Structure 1
Amino acid sequence: MNAQNVGRYRCIMRYFYEQHQKLRYWLKPQEVYDGVAAFGLLEEDYTLDQCQKDLNQLVEWGNLVPRHDGGRSATVEEYLRKKFRYQMTPYAVEIERLVAGLEKIRGYGGSLEPSLFENIAGDLDLLESAAGQFPPGVAVSLWEKIYGDFIKLTENASDYIASLQSSKVEELMLTETFLAYKDSVTRYLQDFIQGLQRQAYKIEAVLAAMDPDIVNTFLVNVQRDLAARPLLDDPVDPEEQLERLRQEWQSMLRWFAGREGENSDVYFLEQTTKDTIARIVRNALRIQEKHRLGVSRRRELDYLGKWFFALDDIKQSRRLAAHVFALYRCRHFQGLDERGTDNADISMWQVGPNIRELRSRSRKRLRDTGSGSIKEQRERQQRARERFLLAQQEEMAVLQAYLKRREVRISDLDPVSSRERYYLLYWIGRCMANKSRRILTPEGIGISLEMPAGRERARLECDDGELDMPDYLLKFTSGMGERHEQNR
């Protein structure tokens, strides 16, 4: 494909392949030259000698096989020149067949044929009724029919489903032209689904319940028939051939019945087909809705309004509104949930609401309405100051009470309030964040923390629950003593 004269080689190989299709296998150089020249794709100065050189090169590469032509010579040149006929090698035939097939591809293609399920089900019933025993030549024909229908079913179905999910079809589904195909495609898919549901699960049950001895006997008979066919090429090992047949049977069994703990491919094919039908219907409805956007619905709304006006019960009105308008659109807000308590057992309905101010997200700038008044914040600041001073007094009272005791162990504490528990946890957290396990409060009281020696734990009782925590020891000292220790 990357040779210097690739154009000439391709024309020669295509001419050989066309003649091969017509059962003309051996060709003379003159016939090849005339056929390539008839294409009209090569230079006008292309000669028979160049054609002969191209044939020799293709023979060297293994694309052609030469054979001496022992016929009589008509001219002196033919007598002096060795005459050969050329034939394509099997590899060259397959390559040309592949290239010819690629030229004919237009999309994925494929089809959905429910009749293949019926054929496979009938052949499996025949296999089971005969217990795998068949006369010579019958078993291999039955197997080729079963496995051939299976391969045709899987490949065509996967190609057709893939074609419906291609970008080209996706674009077609968004246009009004798709409405003309919607009914026929949907009916085609529904017929396939019905055939699959009637026969595929029957095949699954037959394969799962079939005796392994019957299957083994049948495959042995198939291998016997294949071995009876005369092959001039290298013979195939019977054990390898039988193992290949068993693997093909297992692949068919896995496709219909699945593995242990896994769904079968039939199930996925059914779900994919159903999803495709739903997607086709959704796109069709979306296109039809676009046409209805410009249609006046005044009569429908007038009828609906009279219906609401005629109802006397508010419950009936709400029920009608639910059927007509469905649920309202939900809005989700993100932020800190201020519950007001640390108790996790309290429901959200038992706490107060969290008030959030919503601002417009519109990019349009609102028209300036002039200067606004300055709000008086003195009262709010005074209330905040009073709350802060009250909290300071509460914390100072707790500190003074603990300072008198000098040492406080968590296990020795009586039930405390939620506010006192907050202060304890706040001091413990500050001490844990310091390497020296000591802190000094703004009031000049020093607090030091000692960890429990044996990792003992204590249960702190509060007015809103119990807290399980390590049995810490807190030591409280006055500011003078703390400064004296620091100076030392």
Structure 2
Amino acid sequence: MISTNVRKRVTEVNYLNTDNTWRYRNIIRIAYINYEKMKYWLYAEEIYDEIINVQGFNSYTLDNLKGDLEALKSWGNFAAIQDTKRTTTIEEFKNRKFRYQISYATIELERTLIKIEAASDGMRGSLEISLIERFRDTLKKLEKIEINNNGKDLFSLWEMLNRDFKHLNENYQDYISKFFNPKTEELLKTTEFLIYKESFIKYLREFIKGIQINVPQIQKSIEILEEDTERLDLCIKKIVKYEKNTIALNADYNENARYEINAGRYMSMKEWFVAIKGRTPMGEQILESTNGIIRKITRYALQITEINYGGGNRLVDYRKLAQIFNNTKNIEEAHKLSSLVFGVFNTRHIVCNTERETESINSSIFEENPTVVTITPSRRDYGRKTASTAIVKNKSEEKNKKGIEVLEKRKKEEELIESYIKDNKLIFRNLAGISKEERIIFLTWLSKSINDKSNSWIRNEYGKSYKIVNLKPKDNIKINCEDGDFTMPDYEIVFK
């Protein structure tokens, strides 16, 4: 029998037949290739870094990409979530980056298209704590395995590791998507869900516990593997060679491509458990998301309970209280009852900042000596006539000395910054070995000029006027800094 689902429109195929299909297909293919490397969530910047290397995308901008991603998201080709890291300001909250995940329907579409292009792959998945435990045990075996044998055991171990990691990621996809859609939100708010609340929260907490126990051990195993990078590289090459000679049986087998895929899979495993470039690993994000879901379930359950039972219980309490007040003999007795029920209406807390005579927690304030506080009139013209005996220290010399030091430091800083400006130009590609502070100063200048839509001259903190020569550079450059390499567009700044 044919399902009624066949009557529905499949919006996920819209990207295959539009004026911008050539752009959409490249974006989705990049996401699919990363999916095959088990890198399921991508920042827009990561997609952009790859797509600008594709022929025909020379003038393609990051804003163009974000617009295309929004279109693909509206058709159901991508799911998007914002960073879960903590923010301390409203600006940071607004600027939280989105991560994009290719949807299941789009994956199947891409697989069909790739089969037409003579390639294929498959996917399965399940949810259980034993997956992460099995992944941990397999990774420990990989630490100790002898790689100079025929490669059979190594390949088998690698396939097992990939399979367990793939299932673990698929579990995370199902898990995260299930609780961040409107239908689930509505389900959590229903009275029927209260029946399953406790068992479900217990299930989630067991999942969290399994991750908390096993992730540190996996991180330790990855550290051991990273200590000998040559062995790790040889290990991947041995796997590819065994696959080529024994399993592939294909004259068109691309050894370099398979090496890149396997190396990419290892990097995805590493990123899942270890923070790289300051980014929160997926394991920690799972904990944050799961704890957030538990809090959400608890909050909804409390709201449902209050709506269904709280109002009725309070109504009975209020009626009983009104009867007690009505039965009081006089206003004096009503006042006493009010003090017990509602407390004192206008209270003042008087606190004295004095040292206690004893540190005993059992000591009452009535057992200690009272603190004497002298109350002075609140009149404006009141003032104590007391002779000042304090000696005021003259700090003018110290202030002058500190001021001179600040000026000298600022002058040296200005001279150092100006040493990078050659022929009234600051060319970022020529910078090398700059410090973190210098990089921040240059990027601040750059940011102010980029945000100035009129591209007029801007004055920096040293009184020099400047502007950007090339607002839309085609190429990216890599600057060697003291704290690492920094990739950015090839900008140039010119000074008056």
> Same-fold call, TM > 0.5?
no
Structure 2 length-normalised TM: 0.39
Structure 1 length-normalised TM: 0.39
